[in-house]
Amino acid sequence: MFWIRTDQLDPEQRQAVENIPVASSFLLTGPAGSGKTNILLLRAKYLTLKLQSNFKIIVFTKKPANVCPGRL
């Protein structure tokens, strides 16, 4: 399941999307099914809406790598 809005996230997930400074790098880890891919997609959406176009998402598994390009 993918969340569309940040108000659908729990506080820790929302912090990862909205409260990390725009110019900061971060590492997102967690168990399978915890919403890591969705957090990355929402973070990309958040940065895009903040007019930040110079960012990269790097993933280390095939599933998120295949999902991300179609979602942005």
**How large is the greatest C-alpha to C-alpha distance in the chain, in angstroms?**
31
Rounded Cα distance between 72 and 67, Å, is: 9
Q: What's the pTM value of the predicted model, to 2 decimals?
A: 0.69
Over the stretch 17-44, which tens digit does the pLDDT of each residue have?
888 888 888 888 888 888 888 888 888 8
E-strand ranges in 7-48 read none
